[in-house]
Amino acid sequence: MLLDILIVSVIIAFLRGGRFKRLAEIDLKRAELIVISFGIQYILVRAGESGSIWVQKWGVYLYVFSYILLLVSIWYNRHIKEMLVFGLGIITNFMVIVANGGHMPVSLEALKKAGMAYLLPLLQSKTYIIHTLMNPKTRLKFLADIIPLPPPYPRPRVLSVGDIIMGIGVFFLIQNYMTEKGLFKNFWRRKDDRYGFPAKKDERERSI
């Protein structure tokens, strides 16, 4: 889903007069942690789909570790307000994953509504550890994957509240850096006075 939102956000930013090169202004620290985290999750998904045995033993630990890396990256980038929104989504997902033994529960009803019932055998396999079917013992159900995104959406999905919050963070990050005028600029005010706000008192004094 994040890839879809990223692409849509860039398109909208271009329509609003944005420029891709402005993304270089993002003071992103320890970006490698984000890359490694999503890389681990991608490997776990592919390994689970292929039935790799090693995933049964180490998969859950690696999955939780990938989220810890994401949280560390958010800490390093807490000066970026949009990243804090992204981080709130990560925390929300991490809570339900930890509460359910290292797996993200998925609603069977939501799967059917999204036209993804064909994934049931995979979700029930022991090698696919990223997701698991929701059951009566599932904790924090309201934070699990319960929101269907069915056709005609080209890439049907089942989302969690955390996924949506992460998507909002990505959307505002792209809009507020690619374009000259960000969205809700009073809220996203930055120390560098990027949107024309008066500098803070201590900044004005340093400039004299």
How do the domains of the chain map onto residue ranges? 2-8+28-178
Question: In 10 A of CB 57, how many CB atoms?
Answer: 9
Q: Tell me how far CA of residue 21 lies from CA of 6, 8, 178, 179, in angstroms.
A: 15, 17, 7, 10
The pLDDT assigned to 20 comes to 84
Q: What is the pLDDT of residue 144?
A: 96
Q: Where are the alpha helices (DSSP H) in the chain?
A: 2-15, 31-50, 54-76, 81-99, 108-113, 120-123, 161-178, 201-207
Q: Mean pLDDT across the chain, nearest whole number?
A: 86
Token output for 197: 């706000």
Cβ(164)–Cβ(83) under 8 Å? no
User: Does residue 197 surpass a pLDDT of 60?
Assistant: no
Cα of 82 vs its chain's centroid, Å: 12
Categorize the per-residue pLDDT at 52 as very low, low, confident or very high, splitting at 50, 70 and 90: confident
pLDDT of residue 199: 42
Question: What per-residue confidence (pLDDT) applies to 188?
Answer: 54
What is the percent of the chain where pLDDT is above 90? 58
> What is the C-alpha end-to-end distance of the chain, expressed in Å?
47
pLDDT per position as a tens digit, 2-49:
888 989 999 999 898 888 888 888 889 999 999 999 999 999 999 988
Residue 206 pLDDT more than 90? no
> What letter does residue 145 receive in the DSSP assignment?
B
Element of type H or E holding 159: strand 157-159
Residues 114-169: tens digit of each pLDDT: 999 998 998 888 888 899 999 999 999 999 999 999 999 888 999 999 999 999 99
179 by DSSP, 3-state: which?
A: coil
Instruction: Identify the pLDDT of residue 23.
Output: 86
Average pLDDT over residues 58-66: 93
Is 86:166 a contact under the CB 8 Å cutoff?
A: yes
Q: What average pLDDT does this structure show over 44-66?
A: 90
pLDDT for residue 189: 52
pTM assigned to the model: 0.83
pLDDT bucket at 186, cuts 50 / 70 / 90: low
The pLDDT of residue 193: 45
